[in-house]
Structure 1
């Protein structure tokens, strides 16, 4: 994996357990996270830890392989992640910064632990996403802007 990667996909959902919507371009703000995604909005008592979730395409493929499935057997957005990162290992430490395109910066706040909902998608998926931060990372927006599928992604810290 190199120092830069590519934004392979963008997904959002407007309510808990709502369907994931794939989009090619989206506004990302400090106040709302991914525009149109219910998880990103600020709470009345302060910022959310989970404004944006990111998963690596390579980690998703590894989880699928562990289940004996082809990489595309289950679409990545079923993980409920907002952003699919290709060709870049996501940082595994709090405080790391991820730049997407020219403007947007996301700060990693924690690992995205897979929940029991993953078992509803496929038996064994929760366990397949558990090792080595394979379930992705959660972050908060530090710098806002518009992101597009295909944008360059790089780790700043």
Structure 2
């Protein structure tokens, strides 16, 4: 994603966040066709993914998947549920307090880990089984963000999610 120039009005608006976010939930799926396992912390490896997650394969752009906590009640309502378990949604992190869309194309830090938001994390057909008929559509535009791991380390529940200052090189 190409961001507008940092000194433009739109660039300044897009770079301004009201506050840091917070990691609320972490999940790993060790193999195909099993539910996510909730954990208190995880190790992220550069260019690989989260240790213990089946997608820790080195795909790069999708090293970690994130979903916004504030979207969970919306997804639940649209799918006809009182609430949804984050494990059903197949994302690694649930984050609250800041709009994940603002991290697309940007670098950010969670705990020891530096990430770069790469693309929207669109829902897959498995949402029909997880949420019932219409589950796929309930998650559209609420699926979260995929991120590449630039610097590995540990991340934990309660860690701050902080956008990093943009540099000229990171905007290209």
Alignment TM-score, normalising by the size of structure 1 = 0.85
2:122 to 98, 113, 124: 113
Q: Does 1:40 align with 2:62?
A: no
Query: In structure 2, how many angstroms separate the alpha carbons of the residues matched to 1:145 and 1:93?
Result: 19
- Shift, 1:8, TM fit: 0.1
Query: In structure 1, how many angstroms separate the alpha carbons of the residues matched to 2:32 and 2:60?
Result: 15
Query: In structure 2, how many angstroms separate the alpha carbons of the residues matched to 1:125 and 1:3?
Result: 31
What is the match of residue 151 of structure 1?
159
Checking the alignment, whether the CA contact within 8 Å between 1:93 and 1:110 is kept in structure 2 is no
Offset from partner CA, 1:34-62 (integer Å, 9 cap, x none): 110121222xxxx4321110000111221
Alignment TM-score, normalising by the size of structure 2 = 0.78
Query: In structure 1, how many angstroms separate the alpha carbons of the residues matched to 2:143 and 2:76?
Result: 12
Query: In structure 1, how many angstroms separate the alpha carbons of the residues matched to 2:86 and 2:60?
Result: 24
Instruction: Please state whether the residue corresponding to 2:32 is helix, strand or coil.
Output: coil
- Shift, 1:112, TM fit: 0.7
- Shift, 1:145, TM fit: 1.0
Query: In structure 2, how many angstroms separate the alpha carbons of the residues matched to 1:6 and 1:90?
Result: 11
Q: How does 1:3-152 map to 2 (within 5 A)?
A: 3-42=19-58, 47-70=59-82, 73-92=83-102, 94-101=104-111, 103-121=112-130, 122-131=132-141, 134-152=142-160
Name which structure has the greater RCO, CA cutoff 8 Å, separation 6+.
Answer: 1
Structure 2: state its 5+ residue gaps. 1-16, 167-172
Offset from partner CA, 1:93-147 (integer Å, 9 cap, x none): 642122112x21111111111111100112222111113xx10111110011111
Aligned length: 148
CA-atom RMSD in angstroms? 1.8
The structure-2 alpha-carbon separation of the partners of 1:110 and 1:15, relative to structure 1 and needing over 3 Å to count, comes to: same
Instruction: Please state whether the residue corresponding to 1:22 is helix, strand or coil.
Output: strand
